[in-house]
Chain A
Amino acid sequence: MTHLAEQRERAEASGVHHLTVLSNDEPARRARRSWTLALATLGVLAFALSFSQSWWKFTLYAPQYPHGLRLEIALTGLQGDVHEIDMLNHYIGMRHLVQAAPIERAYASYGVAGVCFAVLVGILLLGRRTGRLALLPALLFPIGFITDSFAWLYAFGHQLDPRAPLHVPPFTPQMFGNGQIGQFMTFAEPALGFWLSVVGVALVAAAVEYRQRAVCAHCAHAAKCKDVCPVHFLGNPGKLEKSA
């Protein structure tokens, strides 16, 4: 029986059926490590890149704005026809856009750095049972943005100054697709930053899954151990085998 077949059998016997059993030789291990780290790094890179991009964009069309008014939301601020949109919003008593999400914008850089850090630490150090938790900070990143943005849109549309010249019933500006406010046809959609974060999540998910499935089968302890061993994942299995 070859070493590999022996391992597979041991694994089957210990009920660890889902583990992909791969060759245990050094080049194969190096390749597995490299793929996992490369995917995770690319994912983190996508997150980092998204920091400097707009995450969401709104376009407003009206007869007197034939080319549309644009508003782009990035993690640290707003871009586009902010002045003009504020001017229009003042008619219905909406607050200035710059007053939205001040804390989020101030700490956005730490947030992104934190997410990147947490993802990498998770990939490197988590065990098999907790391995998928590495995806959590990544996943929370775009979801958190959407949730927070929606909350702010809701707040802005529901806290209108009662002394405004125009009285409109409270509303939540459309966050996806077409909407209509007065003479404005609005269109909202995710922008490059958001899509980068989604790509980042996908890459991190791939890294986590790959690591999760591929790491343990070659280990001499695989039969007994139900955890992915971080030391083993990064370290030299040869030494471990010897000690076994």
Chain B
Amino acid sequence: MLNFIARRLLHAIPVLLGVSAIVFFGMHVIPGDVAQMILGDKATPQALAHLREQLGLNQSIFIQYWKFISHACAGDFGQSLRTQNPVWQDIWTAFPVTVQLSVLSLLLALAIGIPVGVRAAVERNGWFDNLAMVAVLVGISMPVFWIGLILMIVVGVRFDLLPISGLLSDSISLQRITGMSIVDSLIAHDLEALVDTVKHLILPVVTLATIPTAVIARITRMAMLDVLKQDYIRTAWAKGLRYYPITYYHALKNALIPVITVTGLQFGALLGGAILTETVFGLPGLGRLAVNSILYRDYPEVQGIVMMASAVFVLVNLIVDVLYAVVDPRIRLDREVEP
């Protein structure tokens, strides 16, 4: 197992290198003078020249890339042009917000998607199945941006039940420790802040969870349909077991492999969805940081964010592979090295 993990981590290096090249050259292909974008249309020619000098924009693009890579290998992604902070610091401030949002959304998606998928499979072609699959189609098709605004208008403004943007009400102050508002309010034993931040998170989490919920429900149904046809399930029914033990203990366990795969992939989609969700709901996460940095041509920051997101994605994929072995003992990850 350890061998396997080590090997996979080594595989990550070319992946990250490739990503860095795409991002770096991609950012440089966008038209417009970077120095001009940063300093605005009132900048003097001297100021522009000075900034180009400072950013090394006068050098050839390959030298610039080499400098970026060699610094990045030493863990230094440079300084943000917009916020003037070290890039890692900005990322580290924003990342917990996105992690909290994505993890809660994924949990919600699993909590709803799996039971719905299971029941839809068991009652195949019944009213629940039909209803659920229509809902899944709607869920997959709706743009995140639009769901967010509709939820805001209906739940937040029309019925005035929930706050519509931000992480905490303006009247509440909370010491930032981990950057995850729920964890921080638990650490501070602050019930008021906890309730407040949970209320703030409901709409964005529901918004972000819509697509993964639909995808997970659908894949669970498919996998369950396969498993439910198996002989041992018929045996289970025959020996008189009831609905829950059969579906959740015997069947679901064996249907989980594709669900895990898709969930892992959805985590990547969540990071992408977070860009829209965080912008709509005004949450200070990595997605917002990415958008702001791209609009401002903040190269070092964009590169740092994309590298970070890629690293997370690689890591999630690794966790998914490890989970295969945990869920299904027949899968041996290190079989190749120890035949």
A binds B: no
Residues on A lying within 8 angstroms of B by beta carbon are none
Residues on B lying within 8 angstroms of A by beta carbon are none
